[in-house]
Amino acid sequence: MAEEEVGIVVKFFSKPSVAAIDLTKGSIKKGDTLMYKGHTTDFTEEVTSMEIDNQSVDEAKVGDMIGIQVKERVREKDKVYKLVD
């Protein structure tokens, strides 16, 4: 599987375990598999929940600031990649 960079983590909220991501390239849809990579971060996860301004959405595009529920901690400046066939 190839990977394409789609965004960068700008903030992590620990209680709901949500990553705030600035989408810089491409798009993300529910069901996509994302890879989070950083100095101490390296995991992949399917997008099951995504919000823009506290409203649930099925797709986000370049320029959107989105919140995605994640299973592990991410850190500011971690890169976000979408895995594509």
**Residue 45's pLDDT band (cuts 50, 70, 90):** very high
State how far the alpha carbon of 33 is from the alpha carbons of 15, 44, in Å. Answer: 23, 7
**Residue 85's pLDDT band (cuts 50, 70, 90):** confident
Residue 1 pLDDT exceeds 90: no
Within 8 A by CB and 6+ apart from 72, the residues are: 36, 41, 43, 45
Q: How many domains does the chain have?
A: 1
The residue-averaged pLDDT of 35-51 equals: 97
Q: What is the pTM of this model?
A: 0.94
What is the CATH number for 73? 2.40.30.10
Provide the token pair at 16.
């709901």
Domain boundaries, position 69: 2-84
- Give ∠ CA 28-29-31 in degrees, rounded to 5: 120
* pLDDT for the residue 10: 98
Please give the span between the terminal C-alpha atoms of the chain, in angstroms, as a whole number.
Answer: 5
